Amino acid sequence: MDTETAPETAVAAAPVPRIVFNRFIPSARFPQRADRSAAGSLPTRAFRYCEPVATASAFGYYVFPPMAFSLRWDGSAIRWTYPGAEDWMLLTVAQFPHFVSEFDSHAPEEIRGFSPPFLGALQEPGHVQMWTGMVMRTAPGWSALVRPPANLPHKAGIELYEGIIETDRWFGPLITNFRINRTDIPIEFDPNFPLLQVQALPREALAEAGMNNYELVPDLTGLRPEDWDDYYDTVVRPNSAEKRPRGQYAAAARRRAKGSEG
């Protein structure tokens, strides 16, 4: 074989990232992987032995407010302020401070003037829309669930809505909507504390055909012998042991996870 004419070895293509966060606001904190301790808030016993809680806590990415700011609702109007502002301002639609010129200096000519609003008061009383400063894209076939952080105490004074976005097809601002549930008390937002958790979901999991494919077992007579066998292994056997080691489920789940990674 003529080595000079041998075909070149194909270079393996780099894997497509499951999720990409594009930071538009330069001062915004980057999203980061959620962690098993729920940002250090889980009790030690739950962190060590409750694998379902730890796994849920680590599923996804923390997203932060892009700056420190405060909101106040008097039951009618919403006002906002931030460090360096002279006073409280009536909130209708507000751009991130000094961002319009930053956006226009980088955007193509036909996109200038279309920087995303940072905050907006919605028509429903006490409702606000906030942009995180990020624009997100997921791999083909993946959507994004935007929700409050899992197992972290929710921020007092607001209730966040959850949403699922087809971010492989829709390239727009990563926003959240929330309702203010107390009046005349400032609600402060900390840019170093997670406000959202973003979780990538295969769109197949959201298909109606799949979600409608479920079964209900009406009573104990419907359990199969293999169901009872599995219940015995899960519940009876560990409780019948003279010395029951703690965290058996957690240890087994971690072994399975390591095996799948290999």
Residues 53-96: pLDDT tens digits? Answer: 999 999 999 999 999 999 999 999 999 999 999 999 999 999 99
Q: How many domains does the chain have?
A: 2
| CATH number of domain containing 167 | 2.70.40.10
Separation CA 250–CA 56 (nearest Å): 13
Question: Residues 257, 154: one domain?
Answer: no
- Is residue 1 domain-resident? no
- For residue 176, give the nearest of 207, 149, 200, 153 by alpha carbon: 149
- For residue 150, give the nearest of 18, 24, 71, 46 by alpha carbon: 46
Question: Residues 203, 76: one domain?
Answer: yes
- Is residue 36 domain-resident? yes
Question: Residues 203, 235: one domain?
Answer: no
Question: Residues 232, 110: one domain?
Answer: no
Helix (H/G/I), strand (E/B), else coil: 58: helix
- Is residue 7 domain-resident? no
Which pLDDT belongs to residue 186? 96
pLDDT tens, residue by residue, 172-230: 999 999 999 999 899 999 999 999 999 999 999 999 999 999 999 999 999 999 999 99
Q: Which residue range is the domain that position 94 belongs to? A: 19-210
- Is residue 183 domain-resident? yes
Separation CA 262–CA 260 (nearest Å): 5
Question: Residues 158, 257: one domain?
Answer: no
- pLDDT at residue 170 tops 90: yes
Provide mean pLDDT across the span 232-261.
Answer: 71
Question: Residues 230, 167: one domain?
Answer: no
Taking CA atoms, 89 is separated from 74, 86, 158, 176, in Å, by 13, 9, 19, 21
Taking CA atoms, 223 is separated from 99, 136, 220, 232, 239, in Å, by 61, 44, 6, 13, 21
Choosing from 210, 229, 253, the residue where a domain stops is 210
For the question of whether the overall pTM of this predicted structure is more than 0.75, the answer is yes
Minimum mean pLDDT range among 26-35, 40-49, 166-175 = 40-49
Question: Residues 99, 72: one domain?
Answer: yes
pLDDT tens, residue by residue, 110-165: 999 999 999 999 999 999 999 999 999 999 999 999 999 999 988 999 999 999 99
Give the helix/strand (H/E) hosting 253.
helix 248-261
Question: Residues 187, 112: one domain?
Answer: yes
- Is residue 3 domain-resident? no
Give the helix/strand (H/E) hosting 227.
helix 225-231
Whose tokens are 């390239």? That residue is 171
Res. 1 pLDDT band, cuts 50 70 90: very low
Which pLDDT belongs to residue 11? 58
Separation CA 155–CA 194 (nearest Å): 10
Question: Residues 125, 245: one domain?
Answer: no
- pLDDT at residue 10 tops 60: no
Question: Residues 233, 206: one domain?
Answer: no
- pLDDT at residue 4 tops 60: no
Maximum CA pair distance of the chain? 83
Residue type for position 54: A
- pLDDT at residue 251 tops 90: no
Residue 149: Cβ within 10 Å count: 23
Which pLDDT belongs to residue 12? 64
Question: Residues 172, 193: one domain?
Answer: yes
Cα angle: 118, vertex 136, 155; to 5 degrees: 55
Question: Residues 58, 156: one domain?
Answer: yes
- Is residue 11 domain-resident? no
- Is residue 6 domain-resident? no
Which residue would you say has higher pLDDT here, 163 or 16?
A: 163
Residue 137: Cβ within 10 Å count: 16
